[in-house]
Amino acid sequence: MRHATGISDFGIEGLEEILARAIQWKAGAHPKHLVDRILGMVFFNPSLRTRASFEAVMARGGGSAIVLEVGNGVWKLEDRIGAIMDGDRAEHIKEAAPVLARYVDLLAVRTFAAGASDEEDHADPVMNGFRNYSTVPTLSMESAREHPCQGLADLMTARETFGSTQGLPVTLTWAPHIKPLPKAVPNSFLLTAAAAGCEVRVAHPEGFELQGEVLAQAQALAKASGGSVSLTKDQGEAAAGSRVVYAKAWGPSTAGGLKAEAVKDHPDWICSPELMGKAAKDAIFMHCLPVRRNVEVADGVLDGPWSRVVDEAENRFHVQRSLVQWLLEA
Amino acid sequence: MRHATGISDFGIEGLEEILARAIQWKAGAHPKHLVDRILGMVFFNPSLRTRASFEAVMARGGGSAIVLEVGNGVWKLEDRIGAIMDGDRAEHIKEAAPVLARYVDLLAVRTFAAGASDEEDHADPVMNGFRNYSTVPTLSMESAREHPCQGLADLMTARETFGSTQGLPVTLTWAPHIKPLPKAVPNSFLLTAAAAGCEVRVAHPEGFELQGEVLAQAQALAKASGGSVSLTKDQGEAAAGSRVVYAKAWGPSTAGGLKAEAVKDHPDWICSPELMGKAAKDAIFMHCLPVRRNVEVADGVLDGPWSRVVDEAENRFHVQRSLVQWLLEA
Amino acid sequence: MRHATGISDFGIEGLEEILARAIQWKAGAHPKHLVDRILGMVFFNPSLRTRASFEAVMARGGGSAIVLEVGNGVWKLEDRIGAIMDGDRAEHIKEAAPVLARYVDLLAVRTFAAGASDEEDHADPVMNGFRNYSTVPTLSMESAREHPCQGLADLMTARETFGSTQGLPVTLTWAPHIKPLPKAVPNSFLLTAAAAGCEVRVAHPEGFELQGEVLAQAQALAKASGGSVSLTKDQGEAAAGSRVVYAKAWGPSTAGGLKAEAVKDHPDWICSPELMGKAAKDAIFMHCLPVRRNVEVADGVLDGPWSRVVDEAENRFHVQRSLVQWLLEA
């Protein structure tokens, strides 16, 4: 049985297969590949694109989706083994996951990082709880560690624009925000771009390092794909000549000792038309959305010639449809 | 591409076409006219009838619906152009609308009036934001300015009862409430009844004037349809001989300088069996629901022989099905 | 027109018919018995299993479901006849129920006990409001008085395990909790097991008596089915030789004068491997879920050889599918 809670579930070979089918299916009529299939979606956190795109995947494919919001019409869930459950969490994942698996054909979970510790977040306890106790394929709609569907949609957008991503210079740049955000999206862009053979440049201020295990995994994927990963603290240097600029806010490294307020210390890291001017002439701009205009990214970029953010969001639909097919056909 | 965010989108000709098909389809088996169609529904405010009836429209027609509740499992949305998004609104309509439009075939939005200013509400910024940035047909499930689906259901109910609405005396009477309510429903009843050739009488206490632009639009529609619009502050005079009495609470005119508390100053404006006794012998009572019994309308009216409120609510289904067809067939 | 808001709606004959079809259909492919059928689901309280299983019933059967959460995106509802509605309840069941019934083919309602008075809860005002004013079959997804779908799933699980339930010794034992819970689940297990011919033993501490009318109804059902019902305050005595141990927390009898805090006074009533050791060698453990591990039931029971809680939850799907068929075929 296949799962898709992180890139290691499909690897370089699966990535190429999923992207190829996503691009192929986008060109034609919607296949009815999901007749009689039910996707159960469990949300611990809000969503717009993810929820709407997965519901559309199931409807267009002839199947259906069940949406459950934990703590909002659904009991709060416990994930700690051996817990004495006398708090506000009324149900354990040990029951919730296998029970839901009896009703549906696939189980999708969204659970953001708690943010207290990079190490704890990377252990991904809630997502792994569902994965361990589910008896049907489980997929991530963003967990503490990764957001694999976003990474797939990002790479699909680059492939559509440039044909190949082998050796493509792409920049993942940190962006300012009003609060520290999880690292799942930058992790997944980094890992997926590395697996797709890109020349990945990661730029962020001091103290916003990504987690070491993720960086090591990205280096290993780049080695296998013929790509590369480099780190810098100079945003302009990273952007120079890049054909993709990917802006994303994330919180400080918990190992670095920085406080959450540090996210507001670098307003000059906003992604601006000036920064885009340093990139390649045919460079595109990407962001996973939602984006805080004029905080993370200037209006001039989002409303300018570079932006592919709406196409990128549309591609969530296409890669997810292909990913669901990949999960079910095993 | 057609939209339906207000009566000006379909006008008198469209109104007649939509009502005719609604009445025709009600008499037969559910047509499967929405196979492979997805309706995206974005709610900024609560709903019972609107949500259930639109979901039923899509299911009965062979399609499906995606329900998104802003601020309740979905990010809060910004509508101001050029905003520095450092508050609680995490996503701009400039992104949300075109992204959702990539997943669905129609986009429906509910967004109540803010109530601070009649002029601002009539500019309808959220609804118009979706309309401007969506690349698929957009329809209103009630906005700050109008509730066109309610107006259509109201007129369908009158047509079913009386055959024709040409020259039909109908009264829209203000009703008491515990708080000031938006004016979208009275606006739409007024506009639709005027467009359908009714002799519309609007009764309300001093200070509860409807917005000037809406009144002017209603007069223009009445002129074109052969109907009329008159205003009075005498509820009994308005009801005398009326064949439809439509009760609805709404807030004070912000131009009139009245405070919100003024809504409690007129308990005698409750719609009572005595008032219905002044109407025509075959008069019917209508209300958009939800209705606060014994505050807006007495039990004796709602449980009496006049009430058509459940039929009227059922007609939401029929007119919306016809409206969706009208939007898609253009 | 049939309803299913309590066991008296189907009785012993209906129970056998519903269980037989549930077991028969579980063995084969999903029948498409619900094409063009819409289930409206109204939740006054949270749900995981109930919501997911009913949505799965409709999707697997070829129909669809509409989910409405009262007070969470849907107006709060009034049930008192003659009320002056000037509080926070914006809509009366007198309107909400018949309106929803115009959009759907079946209406399902979840409304927990208020808990202030056993007598008021047993009058079941909200569920009966929907039942009285709905013009389509109404079914309970748990009300103040009963949870008939749970009772059906419990008995189906016992039947699957032991073939027959005639004369089967089963124990319903009270369990500790952090707060007083409603009595609908113990009521329904008691009533359904009595109707199915079991030798039902009910064990609880002093002051946690079930409501007298329910006990009398259970005795009458047992008499008709050839089963029996006995009460004890000795948990071990009840469990001795039992082939089903059913643990469930519930609040104190309001007639007994106990305070809500009393639920914490009996931690030794936790269902433990020691207790299961007193039961028959082939005994199974059941619980309706959600269960608070190590408060109500020890990990050793839930993770041990006795537990059927996931099968029992799966059977919610099967009995509900059969119950919906029973409601529609009348």
Q: Are B79 and B66 within one domain?
A: yes
Q: Are A168 and A304 within one domain?
A: yes
Q: Could you tell me which residues come within 8 angstroms of residue C184 by beta carbon, excluding any fewer than 6 positions away?
A: C112, C113, C142, C143, C144, C145, C146, C147, C150
In this predicted model, what pLDDT tens digit does every residue of C248-291 receive, in sequence order? 999 999 877 778 788 888 999 999 999 999 999 999 999 999 99
- Is some CB atom of chain C closer than 8 A to the CB atom of B272? no
Within a domain: C229: yes
Under the banding of pLDDT at 50, 70 and 90, the label for residue B113 is confident
Pick A83's closest partner by Cβ from C48, C56, C293: C293
Nearest chain B alpha carbon to C79: B293
B2 burial type by CB count under 10 A (0-12 exposed, 13-18 middle, 19+ buried): middle
Q: Which of A6-20, C59-73, C233-247 has the lowest mean pLDDT?
A: C59-73
Across the interface, whether the CB atoms of B40 and A48 are under 8 A apart is answered no
Residues of chain B neighbouring C40 (CB-CB closer than 8 A): 52
- Is some CB atom of chain A closer than 8 A to the CB atom of B59? no
Residues B81, B76: Cα–Cα separation, whole Å = 15
Q: Are C22 and C127 within one domain?
A: yes
A1 burial type by CB count under 10 A (0-12 exposed, 13-18 middle, 19+ buried): exposed
Nearest to A174 by CA among A208, A214, A213, A211: A208
pLDDT at res. B122: 87
Within a domain: C172: yes
A217/B68: higher pLDDT: A217
Residues of chain C neighbouring A104 (CB-CB closer than 8 A): 52, 56
Cα three-residue angle B159-B165-B168, rounded to 5 degrees: 130
- Is some CB atom of chain B closer than 8 A to the CB atom of A293? yes
Pick A317's closest partner by Cβ from B94, B98, B103: B103
Across the interface, whether the CB atoms of B83 and A30 are under 8 A apart is answered no
Across the interface, whether the CB atoms of B48 and C75 are under 8 A apart is answered yes
Across the interface, whether the CB atoms of B289 and C102 are under 8 A apart is answered no
Within a domain: A55: yes
| Amino acid code (one letter) for C107 | L
Beta bridge partners, A199, equal A169, A228
Within a domain: C71: yes
**Mean pLDDT along residues B107-132:** 90
pLDDT at res. B262: 84
pLDDT at res. B45: 84
Tokens of A204: 């962020």
Under the banding of pLDDT at 50, 70 and 90, the label for residue C213 is very high
pLDDT at res. A103: 98
Within a domain: A167: yes
In this predicted model, what pLDDT tens digit does every residue of B199-216 receive, in sequence order? 999 999 999 999 999 999
Nearest chain A alpha carbon to C314: A102
Test mutation, B70, B79, B99, chain A, max A CBs within 10 A: B99
DSSP single-letter state for residue C78: E
Mean pLDDT for all residues in chain C: 95
Mean pLDDT for all residues in chain B: 95
Residues of chain C neighbouring A95 (CB-CB closer than 8 A): 289-291, 302, 309-310, 313
pLDDT at res. B73: 61
pLDDT at res. C330: 86
Within a domain: A1: no
Residues of chain C neighbouring A85 (CB-CB closer than 8 A): 292-295
The boundaries of the domain holding residue C34 are 7-146+316-328
Integer-rounded Cα Rg, in Å, for chain C is: 19
Q: Could you tell me which residues come within 8 angstroms of residue C25 by beta carbon, excluding any fewer than 6 positions away?
A: C31, C318, C321, C322
**Chains touching C (3+ CB pairs < 8 Å):** A, B
Residues of chain A neighbouring B106 (CB-CB closer than 8 A): none
Nearest chain A alpha carbon to B84: A294
- Is some CB atom of chain A closer than 8 A to the CB atom of C328? no
Which chain B residues in 60-79 lie under 8 Å from chain A, judged by CB atoms? 63-64, 66, 68, 72-75, 78
Q: Which residue has the tokens 């997926």?
A: A192
Q: Are A121 and A249 within one domain?
A: no
Q: Are C209 and C123 within one domain?
A: no
Is residue B208 a contact partner of residue B172, using CB atoms and an 8 Å limit? Answer: no
Residues C297, C290: Cα–Cα separation, whole Å = 11
Within a domain: C2: no
In this predicted model, what pLDDT tens digit does every residue of B239-266 receive, in sequence order? 999 999 999 999 999 877 778 788 888 9
Q: Is the dihedral of CA B143, B146, B147, B148 positive or negative?
A: negative
Residues of chain A neighbouring B104 (CB-CB closer than 8 A): 52, 56
Q: Are A246 and A319 within one domain?
A: no
Across the interface, whether the CB atoms of B75 and A48 are under 8 A apart is answered yes
Is residue A115 a contact partner of residue A148, using CB atoms and an 8 Å limit? Answer: no
Test mutation, A66, A104, A136, chain C, max C CBs within 10 A: A66
pLDDT at res. A175: 98
Q: Are B208 and B68 within one domain?
A: no
Test mutation, C26, C32, C49, C301, chain A, max A CBs within 10 A: C49
Residues of chain B neighbouring C63 (CB-CB closer than 8 A): 59
What contacts 24+ positions apart, CB below 8 Å, involve B252-259?
B252/B180, B252/B207, B252/B208, B253/B118, B253/B207, B253/B208, B253/B209, B253/B210, B253/B211, B254/B115, B254/B116, B254/B117, B254/B118, B254/B119, B255/B118, B255/B209, B256/B206, B256/B207, B256/B208, B256/B209, B257/B207, B258/B207, B258/B208
Residues of chain C neighbouring B299 (CB-CB closer than 8 A): 82
Within a domain: B2: no
CA distance A130 to chain B (A): 20
Residues of chain C neighbouring A82 (CB-CB closer than 8 A): 294, 299
Q: How far from the centroid of its chain's Cα atoms is residue A182's Cα?
A: 10
Across the interface, whether the CB atoms of B90 and A290 are under 8 A apart is answered yes
pLDDT at res. C73: 61
- The count of other CB atoms within 10 Å of the CB of residue C245 is 28
Is residue A142 a contact partner of residue A112, using CB atoms and an 8 Å limit? Answer: yes
Q: Are B126 and B254 within one domain?
A: no
**Mean pLDDT along residues A39-64:** 94
Residues B191, B200: Cα–Cα separation, whole Å = 9
Nearest to C138 by CA among C96, C116, C109, C113: C109
Q: Are C51 and C137 within one domain?
A: yes
Q: Containing H/E element for A56? A: helix A49-60
pLDDT at res. B258: 79
In this predicted model, what pLDDT tens digit does every residue of A150-207 receive, in sequence order? 999 999 999 999 999 999 999 999 999 999 999 999 999 999 999 999 999 999 999 9
Q: Are C238 and C219 within one domain?
A: yes
pLDDT at res. B119: 84
How many alpha carbons fall within 13 Å on the CB side of residue B176? 20
**Chains touching B (3+ CB pairs < 8 Å):** A, C
Residues of chain A neighbouring B42 (CB-CB closer than 8 A): none
CA distance B121 to chain C (A): 22
pLDDT at res. C254: 82
Q: What is the b/e burial string over C135-148, where b = at least 16 CB atoms within 10 angstroms of the residue's CB?
A: ebbbbbbbbbbbbb
CATH number for A324:
3.40.50.1370
In this predicted model, what pLDDT tens digit does every residue of C122-174 receive, in sequence order? 889 999 999 999 999 999 999 999 999 999 999 999 999 999 999 999 999 99
In this predicted model, what pLDDT tens digit does every residue of C29-44 receive, in sequence order? 999 999 999 999 999 8
Which chain B residues in 18-37 lie under 8 Å from chain A, judged by CB atoms? 36
Which chain A residues in 113-172 lie under 8 Å from chain B, judged by CB atoms? none
Which chain C residues in 177-216 lie under 8 Å from chain A, judged by CB atoms? 178
Q: Is the pLDDT of residue A279 over 90?
A: yes
Cα three-residue angle C32-C36-C39, rounded to 5 degrees: 95
Test mutation, A94, A102, A107, A109, chain C, max C CBs within 10 A: A102
Q: Are C22 and C141 within one domain?
A: yes
| Amino acid code (one letter) for B82 | G
Q: Are C222 and C271 within one domain?
A: yes
In this predicted model, what pLDDT tens digit does every residue of A75-89 receive, in sequence order? 788 999 999 999 989
Share of chain C above pLDDT 70, in %: 99
How many alpha carbons fall within 13 Å on the CB side of residue B155? 34
Across the interface, whether the CB atoms of C103 and B72 are under 8 A apart is answered no
Cα three-residue angle A160-A164-A169, rounded to 5 degrees: 100
Mean pLDDT for all residues in chain A: 95
- Is some CB atom of chain C closer than 8 A to the CB atom of A90? yes
pLDDT at res. A51: 95
- SS3 (DSSP) at A39: strand
**Mean pLDDT along residues B102-113:** 95
Nearest chain B alpha carbon to C105: B56
pLDDT at res. B70: 80
- The count of other CB atoms within 10 Å of the CB of residue B236 is 14
CA distance A89 to chain C (A): 8
Across the interface, whether the CB atoms of B91 and A290 are under 8 A apart is answered yes
Is residue A107 a contact partner of residue A67, using CB atoms and an 8 Å limit? Answer: no
- The count of other CB atoms within 10 Å of the CB of residue B156 is 27
Residues B245, A6: Cα–Cα separation, whole Å = 61
- Count of domains for chain B: 2
pLDDT at res. C304: 97
In this predicted model, what pLDDT tens digit does every residue of A290-315 receive, in sequence order? 999 999 999 999 999 999 999 999 99
Q: Is the pLDDT of residue A73 over 70?
A: no
**ipTM of predicted complex:** 0.96
Residues of chain C neighbouring B46 (CB-CB closer than 8 A): 73-75
